[in-house]
Structure 1
């Protein structure tokens, strides 16, 4: 009986033993690396049908596809880093504008107790009878500036903040519009105004934005046409 038992134990030892897999809580990297790709390619070549071997062109295409995918992934990482550097550079550049006056393409502007509003009328051609109108938030015209005939280019204007009688108007937001006579009709002209930069905002979606005094909504750094002393 002892011999039979010993033989049985020996046979059990020769039987197939299931490999013990170690369970780990650590997350595994599911990305296919270059080493993994070449291992798969080697296995593919080892088990291919000898009567129907893989064509060289097909093998080259597989290698090219993997190389291209890996290159795109690396390029995306580099572009992400470059975008971060550019955002930081723009933020640093924009921060130097805080407290300064910038010229932006808008007719909405803010008047304080001590300052008026100045800006530029853009003319694509020589124009007659150019007039700048200052309106309050209700659309009422509070002041008009007659500029007369102007050549093509940028025509500057200044408003000291007073009405037609010379009375100082209260601080607040005003709308500046420019008109000119072309033929028998009056046309509105593009206008830009100066505004003081109060602060700078950094947004992942919109990049760097300049917050201007009294004007809602930020302006991009690329919108700035000119920088002047505050």
Structure 2
């Protein structure tokens, strides 16, 4: 049979497959129909080579396995996303620590928090800059010297600055200085969750924080108090399904610790690797989240 005839027979199948799938990729059923049509109209004097047939059947098997993998991954993403939304809802009204460099001074309120110092240093400083400026090319408006410190969480209060900041938008950077070298450190600010935003379609779940604004849930390191029942259910659901392995900090049980007489619980959705990549950048906004999915 001529090539034109074969193409004429296959064209309806291709049309159906393309119209049924927006990404214009053939599914397993369409692939099998094409293979059967090819065998049906093959030249009896020149039958299809067995090696070619095996290769095509192998391609079909791989296609089916890939389709199953995609389905599993979509299910994983959906369950993780739903658990994030459920978990975040239990944070409303609670005091949290969040990795963020921007802040807003309102009615004289200055931020407090911890510098997450990765190694001992001879001098630890927190510099303050106007929002939107490049700290690498701008002199700080104010500097808070914390002296020599050992590795760990180093508390600070910007109210300790020699001169209070005027109301407005700012950013801060922490630097460990030793032997003339300056290494930037992460800052975890203290704030309170006002509300939660769940954009849908597996976009980042956001929390709205007093004095900071919208940040992704993975930027929250811990919150004050014990987990709510809904939060325990969210973590337990992922743990029971074994899908907690896909999250770097989701343990079998959210760890709690006592600090300064207060109970703090680690956020299992905190992603330290992602935050290290974003060190020095402003937190994601609602608009930014629309371009990032799980």
The answer for the alignment partner of 2:49 in structure 1 is 55
The answer for the alignment partner of 2:191 in structure 1 is 195
**Superposed CA offset, 1:37-84 (max 9, x none):** 656545544443333221212112222223333443343344333322
Task: Write the distance in 1 (CA, Å) between the matches of 2:197 and 2:85.
Answer: 8
Are positions 1:89 and 2:83 aligned together? yes
Among 120, 123, 131, which residue is 1:126 paired with?
Answer: 120
Counting only pairs closer than 5 Å after superposition, residues 47-196 of structure 1 correspond to structure 2 as 47-110=41-104, 116-132=110-126, 140-141=141-142, 145-159=144-158, 161=159, 164=162, 173-179=169-175, 181-183=177-179, 185=180, 187=182, 189-190=184-185, 191-196=187-192
Q: RMSD over aligned Cα, in angstroms? A: 3.8
- Gap runs ≥5 in structure 1: 1-27
TM-score by length of 2: 0.52
Greater per-residue strand proportion: 1
Greater per-residue helix proportion: 2
Q: Is the 8 A contact 1:108 1:193 kept in 2?
A: no
RCO higher in 1 or 2 (8 Å CA, sep ≥ 6)?
Answer: 1
- Gap runs ≥5 in structure 2: 1-14, 21-25, 134-139, 226-263, 265-294
- Cα gap change, 1:46 to 1:187, in 2 (>3 Å): closer
Are positions 1:213 and 2:210 aligned together? yes
Aligned residues between the structures = 196
CA shift for structure 1 position 169:
7.3
CA shift for structure 1 position 89:
1.0
Q: Which has the larger radius of gyration?
A: 1
Task: Write the distance in 2 (CA, Å) between the matches of 1:140 and 1:46.
Answer: 79
- Cα gap change, 1:52 to 1:99, in 2 (>3 Å): same
